[in-house]
């Protein structure tokens, strides 16, 4: 089934349980209510704003409310039974305060005309009151309600006295009801219906317009055929368009628990068995409880291996859906679409974990080995680890590789090595960056290049790049053991040593001999560090049988860094906690 079909099916399955809007309605942010008298006069303009429970600052937020759908991109088009104050009350914000803008009067006239036509023959007292309001309201009366000044440009609804909101009345909903009959076959449902001219706006995608962007849209002559315009090019019924739009907006709503951010993409996910949906969020975003996350990791591992998991059953045949979206002007781009079974998902994710395995593990928290998180790995290749600097498209390419078992993006390895060269030594506050980068390099080498990568320090390895990385680690250890410098060997030479070793290592050797001599003279613990470094250097030099290469290709530079990581970790390892063995890790400002 297609994306739209699965989203429409999701709506049908959960609309009643979740309280999602009915067809013809959408959830909007409503700031206030206009309270009417029976003669159409305004008794009160009352705020519906309230502080949200999680908002500790007490910031006032509009109320989320199901109201008749309004699709307005440009031009003048009024809402029915609700709209912002420019349409409903003929008042907008101006430099002088509440008043009329260039087209406020036209907007209000359109609002009045639409309601006078709709309410021409109604007999419900509340609807009659709204009709009389449209006939008699004068915008200067807004000043009679001083508290309403805070609601200018907010969305407003109506009600008669203390009764129900007008749009909730059965009589109002009967006016809005349509038969939905039509002669055009819907491409989503396969049933005849009225064609949706303009598809619903999807909100909540990072980087897209705050008013929403469309998943399906036609507005250029190049996108039309056989004289068909807009929605007629790919007919989707009003019912199906409403269903998929409502479901996707609900998944992307704040606090839904059904979306996360991976690089520049917003990822929506769901399952036909809601109880397994949280596995996606926990594995890719993490939880606040390391023990819970570890338990889920074990259960997912059991599903991947075909074993009965302890701690609760996870149905391997449960259907999961992962949809990656990215902004594209007024539209949305589908970065990836991955429907599948939980068993397949578990095998793909656990293979990703296996690819990333390295010791000491950088993914340990409170003594528990957790799963690597894609967003944190992507931040490690960004300038200053800021999300907006993650290379464009890398997040989607990485998620696609994880979910399908395909090759990791080549740009991932290049980006990691680029940051290693530029930074020299990462900021200790960023957490176990060295370990995470070494794990990324190991993953790419294992899957893309089909190379065997040592899990931990391999003193018997004879790979030249790996040995040179170990040798560089020994030189760095000797220098740090003797004297901390503002810009040491790692900052100065990590990039050049891994790329052009034949040119750089003779210089490093001379510096090492000086540091070793100084360590011996210092005595005590420094002399002991010198002995440790010298033994490692001697063993490594015995393994370097070939001439030192003039240059190393990108994948060999990756093996160089893994050798460095293993060696420097071994130098600083504590018998009781080898997992935290790195230089200057004052404990990091982030979790593993």
Asked whether residue 445 falls in the same domain as residue 366, the answer is yes
378, 337: one domain: no
Q: How many CB atoms lie within 10 A of CB 54?
A: 7
- pLDDT tens-place string over residues 241-285: 999 999 999 999 988 989 999 988 999 999 998 888 888 888 888
Do 344 and 375 fall into the same domain? no
Residue 506, in any domain of the structure: yes
Structural domain includes residue 215: no
Task: Specify the pLDDT at position 194.
Answer: 84
Domain membership flag for residue 266: yes
Cβ neighbours around 293 below 10 Å, total = 18
Closest CA to 271 of 505, 6, 468: 6
Structure tokens at 268: 């929506």
Structure confidence at residue 223 (pLDDT): 64
Cβ-contact 450, 368 below 8 angstroms = no
Does residue 71 lie within any of the structural domains? Answer: yes
Which residue positions in the chain have pLDDT lower than 70? 1, 52-58, 177-182, 221-224, 226-227, 231, 311-312, 486, 574-592
* Secondary structure element (H or E) that encloses residue 238, with its range: helix 238-252
533 vs 401: CA distance, rounded Å: 40
Beta bridge partners of 311: none
Do 503 and 385 belong together in one domain? yes
Q: Residue 247 domain-assigned?
A: no
Q: Are 325 and 391 contained in the same domain?
A: no
Over residues 303-319, the pLDDT tens digits come to 999 887 776 678 899 99
Q: Are residues 521 and 388 in the same domain?
A: yes
Write the DSSP assignment of 294-313 as a string of letters.
Answer: HHHHHHHHHHHTTPPPTTS-
Examine the domain organization and report whether 306 and 409 are in the same domain: no
pLDDT of residue 299: 87
* Last residue in a domain, options 299, 328, 350: 350
DSSP secondary structure letter of residue 97:
E
Give the helix/strand (H/E) hosting 65.
Answer: strand 63-68
Query: Is 214 part of a structural domain of the chain?
Result: no
Nearest Cα residue to 213 out of 252, 187, 180, 162:
252
**Residue 286 located in a structural domain:** yes
> Burial, 462: exposed, middle or buried (Cβ in 10 Å; 0-12, 13-18, 19+)?
exposed
Burial of 40 (0-12, 13-18, 19+ CB in 10 A): middle
Within this chain, do residues 453 and 433 fall inside the same structural domain, yes or no? yes
How crowded is residue 368: how many other Cβ atoms within 10 Å of its Cβ? 16
pTM for the structure as a whole? 0.77
| Same domain assignment for residues 283 and 168 | no
Last residue of a domain, one of 319, 350, 381: 350
Amino acid 69: pLDDT:
87
Q: Which of 122, 150, 176 is the last residue of a domain?
A: 176
- 233 in any annotated domain: no
pLDDT value for 586: 36
For residue 313, what are the contacts with CB-CB under 8 A and spacing of at least 6? none
DSSP-derived secondary structure for 500-520:
-HHHHHHHHHHHHHHHHHHHH
User: Which residues form the domain of 270?
Assistant: 259-350
What's the structural domain count of the chain? 3
Whether 361 and 435 share a structural domain: yes
Q: Do residues 144 and 117 both lie within one domain?
A: yes
Burial class (CB in 10 A: 0-12, 13-18, 19+), 545: exposed
Please tell me whether residues 414 and 529 are part of one structural domain. yes
């Amino acid at each position: 089934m297609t994306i739209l079909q699965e989203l429409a099916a999701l709506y049908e399955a959960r609309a009643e349980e979740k309280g999602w809007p009915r067809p013809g309605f959408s959830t909007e942010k409503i700031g206030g209510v206009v309270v009417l008298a029976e003669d159409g006069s305004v008794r009160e303009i009352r705020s519906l704003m309230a502080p949200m429970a999680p908002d500790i600052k007490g910031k006032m937020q509009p109320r989320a409310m199901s109201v008749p759908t309004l699709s307005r991109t440009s031009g003048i088009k009024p809402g029915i039974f609700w709209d912002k104050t420019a349409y409903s009350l003929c008042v907008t914000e101006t430099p002088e305060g509440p008043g009329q803008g260039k087209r406020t009067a036209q907007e209000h006239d359109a609002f009045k005309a639409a309601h006078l036509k709709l309410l021409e023959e109604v007999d419900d007292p509340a609807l009659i009151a709204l009709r009389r309001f449209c006939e008699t309201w004068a915008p200067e009366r807004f000043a009679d309600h001083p508290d309403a000044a805070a609601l200018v440009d907010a969305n407003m609804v109506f009600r008669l006295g203390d009764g129900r909101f007008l749009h909730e009345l059965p009589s109002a909903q009967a006016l809005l009801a349509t038969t939905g009959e039509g002669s055009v076959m819907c491409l989503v449902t396969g049933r005849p219906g009225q064609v949706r001219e303009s598809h619903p706006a999807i909100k909540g995608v990072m980087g897209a317009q705050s008013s929403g962007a469309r998943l399906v849209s036609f507005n250029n002559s190049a996108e039309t055929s056989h004289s068909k315009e807009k929605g007629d090019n790919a007919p989707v019924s009003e019912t199906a368009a409403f269903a998929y739009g409502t479901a996707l907006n609900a998944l992307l709503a704040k606090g839904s628990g059904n979306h996360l951010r991976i690089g520049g993409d917003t990822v929506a996910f769901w399952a036909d068995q809601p109880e397994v949906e949280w596995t996606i969020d926990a594995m890719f975003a993490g939880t606040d409880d390391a023990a819970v996350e570890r338990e889920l990791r074990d259960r997912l591992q059991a599903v991947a291996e075909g074993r009965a998991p302890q701690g609760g059953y996870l149905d391997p045949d449960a259907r999961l859906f992962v949809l990656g979206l990215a902004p594209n002007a007024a539209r949305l781009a589908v970065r990836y679409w991955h429907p599948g079974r939980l068993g397949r998902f578990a095998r793909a994710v656990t293979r990703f974990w296996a690819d990333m395995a390295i010791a000491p593990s950088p993914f340990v928290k409170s003594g528990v080995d957790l799963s690597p998180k894609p967003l944190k790995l992507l931040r490690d290749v960004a300038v200053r680890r800021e999300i907006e600097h993650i290379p464009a498209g890398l997040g989607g390419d990485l998620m696609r590789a994880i979910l399908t078992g395909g090759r990791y993006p080549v740009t991932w390895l290049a980006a990691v090595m680029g940051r290693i060269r530029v930074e020299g030594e990462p900021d200790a506050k960023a957490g176990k960056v060295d370990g995470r980068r070494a794990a990324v390099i190991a993953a790419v080498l294992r899957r893309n290049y089909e190379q065997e990568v040592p899990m931990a320090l391999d003193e018997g390895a004879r790979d030249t790049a790996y040995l040179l990385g170990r040798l560089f680690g020994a030189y760095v250890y000797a220098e740090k053991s003797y004297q901390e410098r503002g810009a040491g060997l790692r900052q100065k030479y990590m990039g050049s040593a891994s790329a052009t070793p034949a040119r750089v290592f003779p210089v490093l050797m001379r510096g090492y001999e000086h540091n070793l001599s100084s360590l011996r003279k210092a005595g005590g613990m420094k002399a002991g560090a010198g002995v440790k470094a010298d033994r490692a250097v001697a063993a490594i030099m015995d393994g370097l049988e070939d001439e030192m290469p003039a240059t190393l290709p990108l994948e060999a530079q990756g093996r160089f860094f893994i050798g460095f990581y293993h060696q420097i970790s071994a130098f600083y390892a504590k018998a009781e906690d080898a997992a935290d063995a790195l230089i200057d890790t004052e404990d990091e400002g982030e979790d593993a």
